[in-house]
Chains A and B, each alone.
Chain A
Amino acid sequence: MADYKDIVYGLYDDEEDLLKAVKIAGDKHIDIMDVYTPFPVHGLDPLLGLSESRLHIAGFIYGMLGTLTAFLGMTWIFTKDWPIIFGGKPHWAVPSFIPITFELTVLFASIGMVVTFYLVNGLGPGVVNPTIDLRITDDKFCIAFDTAETDKSSAESFLRSTGASEIHAKTI
Chain B
Amino acid sequence: MTNFEFSGRQRTLLLSGIVLGLVCMGWTWMNDDPLHSRFWSNFLHNSVFFTGIALMAGFFLSASITAWAGWYVTFKRVWESFGLFLIVGLGLMTVIALGNVFHWHHLYHWTDTSILDASVPEKFDSILAGKAGFLNYKWYLGGTVIFVGLWYFIMTRLRALSIKEDEGNDKDFSSHRKMRVWAAAFLPIAGFTSAAMVWQWIMSVDSHWYSTLFAWYTGASWFVSMIALTIMTIMYLKGRGYFQNVTNEHIHDLGKLLFAFSIFWTYLWFSQYMLIWYANVGEETIYFKERWDNYPVLFLGNLAVNFVLPFLVLMRNDTKRKWGSLGFVAAVVFVGHWLDFFLMLKPGILHTAHEAGGGHVGGFAAPGFLEFGTMIGFLCLFLFFAYTMMSRTRLEPSHDPYLEESLHHHV
Which residues of A approach B to under 8 Å, CB–CB?
Answer: 42-43, 52, 56, 60, 87-89, 95-96, 98-99
Is B317 within 8 A of A95, CB to CB?
no
Given A52-B317, A98-B270, residue A42 in contact with residue B278 (CB < 8 A): no
User: Shortest CB–CB separation between residue B303 and chain A, in angstroms?
Assistant: 12
Most buried by A among B278, B315, B410: B278
Kindly list chain A residues whose C-beta atoms are within 8 Å of the C-beta of B270.
Answer: 95, 98
**Complex CA–CA separation, A98 to B278 (angstroms):** 12
**Complex CA–CA separation, A89 to B277 (angstroms):** 9
User: Shortest CB–CB separation between residue A119 and chain B, in angstroms?
Assistant: 23
The 3 A-B residue pairs whose C-beta atoms are closest, nearest first, are: A42-B410, A95-B274, A95-B277
**Complex CA–CA separation, A43 to B410 (angstroms):** 8
A-B CB contact pairs (8 Å), 17 listed: A42-B410, A43-B410, A52-B317, A56-B317, A60-B315, A87-B278, A87-B280, A88-B280, A89-B278, A95-B270, A95-B273, A95-B274, A95-B277, A96-B274, A96-B278, A98-B270, A98-B274
User: Shortest CB–CB separation between residue B213 and chain A, in angstroms?
Assistant: 16
Task: Scan B339-365; emit 1 where CB is below 8 A from any A CB, else 0.
Answer: 000000000000000000000000000
Task: Scan B171-190; emit 1 where CB is below 8 A from any A CB, else 0.
Answer: 00000000000000000000
**Complex CA–CA separation, A42 to B408 (angstroms):** 11
- Interface Cβ pair total, 8 Å cutoff: 19
User: Shortest CB–CB separation between residue A78 and chain B, in angstroms?
Assistant: 15
> CB-nearest residue of chain A relative to B408?
A42
Kindly list chain A residues whose C-beta atoms are within 8 Å of the C-beta of B410.
Answer: 42-43
Kindly list chain B residues whose C-beta atoms are within 8 Å of the C-beta of A88.
Answer: 280
Kindly list chain A residues whose C-beta atoms are within 8 Å of the C-beta of B317.
Answer: 52, 56
Given contacts A42-B410, A98-B274, 9 further A-B pairs with CB under 8 A are A43-B410, A87-B278, A87-B280, A89-B278, A95-B270, A95-B273, A96-B274, A96-B278, A98-B270
Task: Scan B255-288; emit 1 where CB is below 8 A from any A CB, else 0.
Answer: 0000000000000001001100110100000000
Kindly list chain B residues whose C-beta atoms are within 8 Å of the C-beta of A95.
Answer: 270, 273-274, 277-278
Kindly list chain A residues whose C-beta atoms are within 8 Å of the C-beta of B278.
Answer: 87, 89, 95-96
Kindly list chain B residues whose C-beta atoms are within 8 Å of the C-beta of A60.
Answer: 315
**Complex CA–CA separation, A42 to B410 (angstroms):** 7
> CB-nearest residue of chain A relative to B276?
A95
User: Shortest CB–CB separation between residue A86 and chain B, in angstroms?
Assistant: 9
**Complex CA–CA separation, A43 to B273 (angstroms):** 44
Kindly list chain B residues whose C-beta atoms are within 8 Å of the C-beta of A43.
Answer: 410
Task: Scan B303-317; emit 1 where CB is below 8 A from any A CB, else 0.
Answer: 000000000000101
**Complex CA–CA separation, A27 to B317 (angstroms):** 28
**Complex CA–CA separation, A113 to B274 (angstroms):** 30
**Complex CA–CA separation, A59 to B322 (angstroms):** 22
Task: Scan B280-306; emit 1 where CB is below 8 A from any A CB, else 0.
Answer: 100000000000000000000000000
**Complex CA–CA separation, A113 to B405 (angstroms):** 33
User: Shortest CB–CB separation between residue A58 and chain B, in angstroms?
Assistant: 14
Kindly list chain A residues whose C-beta atoms are within 8 Å of the C-beta of B277.
Answer: 95
User: Shortest CB–CB separation between residue B140 and chain A, in angstroms?
Assistant: 34
> CB-nearest residue of chain A relative to B318?
A52
Kindly list chain B residues whose C-beta atoms are within 8 Å of the C-beta of A56.
Answer: 317
**Complex CA–CA separation, A98 to B303 (angstroms):** 14
User: Shortest CB–CB separation between residue B196 and chain A, in angstroms?
Assistant: 30
Kindly list chain A residues whose C-beta atoms are within 8 Å of the C-beta of B273.
Answer: 95
**Complex CA–CA separation, A60 to B274 (angstroms):** 26
**Complex CA–CA separation, A144 to B208 (angstroms):** 71
User: Shortest CB–CB separation between residue A156 and chain B, in angstroms?
Assistant: 31
**Complex CA–CA separation, A68 to B410 (angstroms):** 36
